Every structure is written in structure tokens, then in C-alpha cells.
Copies of this chain bind each other. A is one copy, B any other.
């Protein structure tokens, strides 16, 4: 199977192999060494000196955790959204009692950093800004550098910036410290080439100060406990050990390839995918000026049944793509090209598409 959904992604053979190692004591020295290695390597991928916490959950769990640690009921939150995952982030904050203002942009287009900045300048009491770096549902990579700059321009009493980097980190440039991202959340199962089951969260000093005071209920998600245990090489609760074996091996592979090379590879493959799609006579869904280098959304040709197309690709060609989500269901399909991916993998996707479209 050529699994090219926007996550979970295929795993390199050595990562799959690593997951079969025997289980160890999560309170013992071998585990502590693994946690320290993984955390140090994650800091490089996050480009941060901050704490990076490892939670056993999906990426969404990591986003819920970050929210629960950063907001108190009644806090004003500004959520910039141009897709399903932007909406989800807003919904999480709402479920924790925050007063969420949505700043919506058309799906398929990017979040406008200038509009965000104007809003923040006139309404100065937002505690938190929510943004999705790479909108998996539409194939748009938001200009996080500009968005972070818009927030930072407000000075010392600016809101915190929480970034959903689930489908970007480790594939698309993200400079946590340089850009001043207070909380960055990703999952193990996308660009990081590891199995699903772990959420990874970096927190700035400003975020920690907020976490000390936040009043949203939390126990499993409590970052203070996570930091306390991390200092002794442990997690507060039994972690997904096999997933950590996989993540450690994947991070070693990433370190060998080099983060800049990985980002360049994704840029190359993103372009290759889009050019290939257009050469097939298909239309891209997203604004090409902000096209994502990890997910490409393609419009389903007029009169064609999306589910039938995806089933044919899977059954006749062993190619697994993602469908559209929410209002985009039936209107687009999505090709994931992140993590363990090469031009050849995408060539296989394009070739299968060509055959199915002709057939």
C-alpha cells in the first residue's frame, strides 16, 4: 500500500523495527536515558531552548492539554481559522470556557496576518491567539512568521500564541524561539515519521507563567506535573513506550538527514506534487501562493464521485489518499506528502490517478 493520507504516515523500516523492542520500566534508568535523548532531539526539531513535553495522546489531545493549561474560564481568545482544524482549535478553547472570537478566512486561503494584527491592536485584552500553522483540511500553509510577528508587535503585554503544528513541524520551517511561539503542539504520526500516540508540546517562559495561574480543570493534562517528572527522566503517567521507541529512531534518522535538508525535500516534493496534479488537468484547491508542502488538496472533477475515485485508487492501485472533511467532503481529495516520502512515492500516486481518471 502507498499510504498518502495527511497522516498517519508510513514509517521507515527501522522505525517499525524499533517498536518491537521489549517493554521497559518507565521509572527506570533506561527509560530516563531515552526520554532525555528524545527531548533533546525534539528541541532541535522545534528549534527551541524551551521545555518540550511528551504526552500520550493524539495531536488533538496535545491541543486540549495546551488549552487547559493556558486559559481560565472567561478568558478572551482570538482564533484565526481558515479550515476544519482552525475551527477545531476554537471549539476546544470554547469547551474550556474561554470567550472565543473567531477571525475567519475563506477555506483554501491563508490566514491574513495583517487582519489579525489590526484586530489585536484595537482589542487589546485577548489572552491567547490560536492559529494552525498548516491547515491539513485545505492544504494551506499559513505564514506563521508573519502571524507571530503580528502578535509580537504588541509588546510585553501581548497575548500568548498557541500554534497547532501537527502537520507542519519537522517538514515546514517553524522557528519556535526566533518567532516567539509560546506553545507549539505536534503529533508523532505526521512529519516526524513515528507511530501515532504521542503529542509533543513546547512551552515558552511566558506560557509557563500562564500555566501556573490557569484555572481550567486538568489532571492528566497538567503541564506542571509533566515538567516535574521530566526533570527526573519520567512522565507522570505510563507513556506509550513502543511509540517512544519509534519516535527515538525516527528522530535519529531526521538528525542524519538534517532539518534543513528535510525542509528542502518537502518543498521540492510539494512543488512536484502540485505540478503533477496540474499536468493531469486537475485543479488545486488551495491558493498556490500559500500551498502547503505537506498536504495537497485537489478539487474533484465536476461530475465525479469522490468516494468512488478514492476506492478505485485503493483497490486497483494500492494508493490510499484522504477525502475532504466537513463541508469539503466529496469536493476535494487530499494527498499527504510528509515524513517518510520521496518523489517516487508521489510519482506512484500521480500514475495511479492518471490511470483512474482515464479509465
Contact = CB atoms under 8 A, between A and B. Distances in A.
Contacts of A228: none
Max count, chain B CB within 10 A of own CB: residue among A9, A92, A219: A219
Contact of A240 (B10, B28, B64, B240): B240
Contact of A238 (B7, B63, B218): B7
A54 interface: no
A57 B60 contact: no
A242 B239 contact: no
A196 B56 contact: yes
Interface string A82-97: 0000000001100111
Nearest to A5: B25
A1 B16 contact: no
For the side of the interface on A, what is the size category? 35 or more
A59 interface: yes
A3 B22 contact: yes
A64 B219 contact: yes
A237 B23 contact: no
A34 to B, nearest CB: 14
Interface in A55-109: 56-61, 63-64, 68, 91-92, 95-97
Closest 9 pairs (CB-CB, A-B) = A197-B240, A58-B237, A64-B220, A195-B242, A60-B237, A16-B20, A61-B220, A196-B238, A92-B219
